[in-house]
Structure formats: C-alpha cells, structure tokens
Structure 1
Amino acid sequence: MRLKLIVLLAAVLCAPATVAVAPASASTVTSGDVAGRPDLVAGTYLPLWPFATRHEAGRWQRAYRQGGHQPWHLDAGETALAFTRGYLGFTDIDKVVAADVDGRHARVRVGYLTQENPKPLVAAVVHLVRYGKGADAPWEVVGTDDTTLTLDRPRYGSAVRSPVKAGGIITGVDESLRVRMLQLGAKRALGEVDRIPAGGERQPWTASFGFRKGKWRVATIVVSTGGHVADVERFAITGVVLR
C-alpha cells in the first residue's frame, strides 16, 4: 500500500510538466454570467492581475510608450511569475517551465526545482490575455488551466456572497488544501480557510469560508496544496464578482 502511495505522489508531481494544455480555458465568462459587467478582458475574461480596470491598463500603456515604463508587462512569463510570487505569495515557484503564446493569449507553466528532480515541476498553467488594443497591450492574468488540482466552484465569472463554497477535483496523497480570496490593493486576504484534508485519484474537495468586501468587485480565489517536496506544489485560481 505504501509503495502505491509513493508511486501515485510521484506521478502527480511530475505529470503536469508533460500534460498538454487544453485549447479552451475554463476561465471564460459567458453572456449574462456577470451582473454589472466589470471591465472584461477581450470582452470575455475577468481582470485578475495586475490591472483592475481597462483604464489602469491603458494608463500603463501610455506611460510605456512615453518612457518605457515597467516593460515586464509585455512579457507573459515575467507577468505570470510576478503574479505567482508577488500576488499569490508563492515565492518558491520561481521558474517559467514553458510559455506558449498564441496571438493575444498566453499560457505559462510556472514551477519550481527540488533536490530530488533535476527538472522543474509544474505548479500551474497560468492563462494570460492582452488587456487593451495594440501590440504593446499589457498581459493580464485571467485564470489557470487546471489538471490534477481544479477549482470548479464557484463558477468562473459568477457573482458570490459571503460565505462562499469552493470546490473542485484533486489527485494526490495526504493533501492539505488552503483556499484564499484575494483582491488587488487589499493588504491581506478577504477571506480564507486552510488545513482541508484531501487526496485520492480525481476525488472531490469542498470548503466554505466567509469574506469581507474590498475596493473592487472582481476577486481571485486560489486553492493550493503542498508539503511533500515544497511548501506549495500546485495551485489553481478562478475569478468571481462580489455582491
């Protein structure tokens, strides 16, 4: 039994590096999903980071054209890492394993190194979209393409009230999940819950937590797990609208 658990854990941690990214992301808002219609990215996605509105993105774009201000906004890999390490606080996830850019969309695999594995392990596939018009429109994080850890509830783009129930599917061994709600400009999480036991092969997980409102209507929910070979080994995000 112990051998089976070890084999399953190794498969989970190594599998994302070779998993093909789905052509369609779960981070898509369909017509009528969002009451009040926040400043959507490309008319479809919620702006999660680093810009809260189209106006903010445009202001950076003008500053860049005038003086080259913060050029990292034009690099999908750098933006994905800054989001992961700075906004989510997962500082040990410091590698761009692969960056697939297709027109105005990018999917960046972010990961980390361990002593046991010479190749970086993939923690998540971050989905980014150009926010605004022109070739110098900045990259905006809009979601993740999930594999062995998913965040399916609440549905992407849905309006939520406190308390909120989150859930998804996980494959892993002796996992302990942490779920947080984050928002641009907030110094701490709007709400969180941790130490959620989970594990098995494609098993459901759920968690409920209360949250306070922030400055903006859009917020990011992130679920993470780790503790085997790194503090954070996998994560997934979704975007919601606060009522």
Structure 2
Amino acid sequence: MSSPRAILSALVLSAALTAGLFAPMSRADVVTADGATYQPLWPFASQDEADRWLRDGAGDEQWHADPQATALRFTRDFLGFFEIDRTTSFTEEADEAWVGVGYPLPNGENTTAATLHLVRFGAAEDAPWEVVGSVDDTLTLSTPPYGHLAGIAIDAGGTVTGVDESLHLQAKQSTQPDALGTYCCLAAGGSASEWSTTLELSDRPQPGAVTLVVWTGGHVAEVEDFAITGLRAD
C-alpha cells in the first residue's frame, strides 16, 4: 500500500501537469526538502511570517510547533468546525505530517472527518507547521486541481460516498476575516458518486493562497466529512 506521502505527492504532480502550473513560484509557496511545492493555507500566509514567529520566540503560540494542535486549530479557528475537537490519527515523516481530525459518535467511538496534510514552513528543524491540503476518502475534492488559479467563480467537483448528503462549499483566505464565497447546498449520495457545482465569490481573492473546502453532515454532526484543496490567486 502506498504511503500518504507518496499518494499526495503523486496527486500534486498530476495536478500540476494537468494545469500547466510549472510557472515561477511566489515567495509564499511552501517547498519541502524533497522539492515538493504546496500552497500555504494556514496559519502563515508567507515564509516571512513563519520566519518571524521562529525568530521572535513561541510566546503563547507554542502550538505552531505541534502539527496535531495546528490541525485542530485549523478546523476550529479557520474553518469554524467546532464539533471536530480531537485527533484520530497521526503520521509524521521528516518535514511532513498527516493528522486525522474528528468527533465522537453517539456510541462514544471516535470517527475521522478529514486527514489534514501539514508541512514545516521553512528549512529549520524547528520551523512551524502549516496546513497545505488533505488526503481525501469518502468525500473528495479533485476539481479544480491543486494549485490552480482561483477566479471570481470556482468550478468544483469530486466524489462522495453516503446517503442523503448535503454538500456545502466555501472559499477562504487566511489574510481576510470573512469567507470569499459560500455555497449551500448540493444534494448528493451513492458510492463514489460524482458531484459538481460552481462557487461564486463575492470578490476577487487577494494575491496568495486560497483554501477551498467542501463538507457534508447533518446525520450525527453538523460536519461529518470534509475535504480541502489549495488554490492560488495572483
């Protein structure tokens, strides 16, 4: 079985080839030791911000040094998914980490809502962690491809497995307090059934990374599954 790192790296490379994204990188891109390039979704918008935190000391923001704490804060503080309050899995390899985040079922067992991908933002061994994407399963977000240029309208799509699902979409930037656009709702369901819709943004994104998130829920929790992808705006 392929490792999460191998799967996500292959997806990123495939998306780049499809979209013709081999353009000069902006200074905000996160580049890992093996040369993989990712969009910096949260909490830092640029390398300068990450370096400043490392240089000035952790203070009361020591959670930047913990990938699991960063993943949970991303779901709560950035996405606003307050019911997702625990980690359900954790894998770390060198300067990358995969963190499952989830919530308790009525029987008390934990279930995973998403597996978030994080990387160290910088070359230092103690560089802070940055959310850059997710590894998708029952709910996927494959369109637009990772790193794609986000315009005033985003054509989104993927697959979903479930019964009576209701898909919500939202586009956000860490540099802006409000969402760029929100869509509700698309009825879906089945086994790996394809879904697609268009998210209209209220305004053109600022230059930098854009987080596109899709979620579904309503059976036992408001948000039961979600997936994210990293886009960019020039």
TM-score by length of 2: 0.88
User: Contact 1:60–1:69 at 8 Å: present in 2 too?
Assistant: no
1:205 — aligned with what? 195
Letter in 2 for 1:56: E
CA gap 1:239/1:24 in 2 versus in 1, 3 angstroms: same
User: Contact 2:121–2:127 at 8 Å: present in 1 too?
Assistant: yes
Match of 2:108 among 106, 118, 129: 118
User: Contact 1:148–1:170 at 8 Å: present in 2 too?
Assistant: yes
In structure 2, distance between residues paired with 1:57 and 1:63: 10
User: Contact 1:34–1:158 at 8 Å: present in 2 too?
Assistant: no
**Aligned residue-pair number:** 221
Letter in 1 for 2:30: V
SS in structure 2 at match of 1:82: helix
User: Contact 2:141–2:228 at 8 Å: present in 1 too?
Assistant: yes
2:29 — aligned with what? 40
CA gap 1:22/1:172 in 2 versus in 1, 3 angstroms: farther
User: Contact 1:27–1:143 at 8 Å: present in 2 too?
Assistant: no
Letter in 2 for 1:24: I
Match of 2:49 among 49, 56, 69: 56
Bigger mean CA offset, 206-215 vs 101-110? 206-215
Q: CA RMSD in A?
A: 1.8
In structure 2, distance between residues paired with 1:109 and 1:21: 12
1:24 — aligned with what? 7
SS in structure 1 at match of 2:30: coil
Instruction: After superposition, give the CA deviation of every residue in 1:164-211 in whole Å (9 maximum; x if it has no partner).
Output: 100001001000000000001322110121111010001000110221
Instruction: After superposition, give the CA deviation of every residue in 1:3-38 in whole Å (9 maximum; x if it has no partner).
Output: xxxxxxxxxxxxxxxxx8463213557475165522
| Identity within the alignment, % | 43
Which 5+ residue runs of structure 1 have no aligned equivalent?
1-19
1:140 and 2:130 matched: yes
In structure 1, distance between residues paired with 2:225 and 2:4: 16
In structure 1, distance between residues paired with 2:160 and 2:50: 35
User: Contact 2:162–2:189 at 8 Å: present in 1 too?
Assistant: yes
1:221 and 2:216 matched: no
Instruction: After superposition, give the CA deviation of every residue in 1:62-99 in whole Å (9 maximum; x if it has no partner).
Output: 012xx645111010000000001110000000001121
User: Contact 1:126–1:144 at 8 Å: present in 2 too?
Assistant: yes
Shift of 1:160: 2.7
User: Contact 2:118–2:133 at 8 Å: present in 1 too?
Assistant: yes
CA gap 1:162/1:156 in 2 versus in 1, 3 angstroms: same
In structure 2, distance between residues paired with 1:214 and 1:208: 16
CA gap 1:45/1:22 in 2 versus in 1, 3 angstroms: closer
Which 5+ residue runs of structure 2 have no aligned equivalent?
none
User: Contact 2:167–2:214 at 8 Å: present in 1 too?
Assistant: yes
Bigger mean CA offset, 39-48 vs 175-184? 39-48
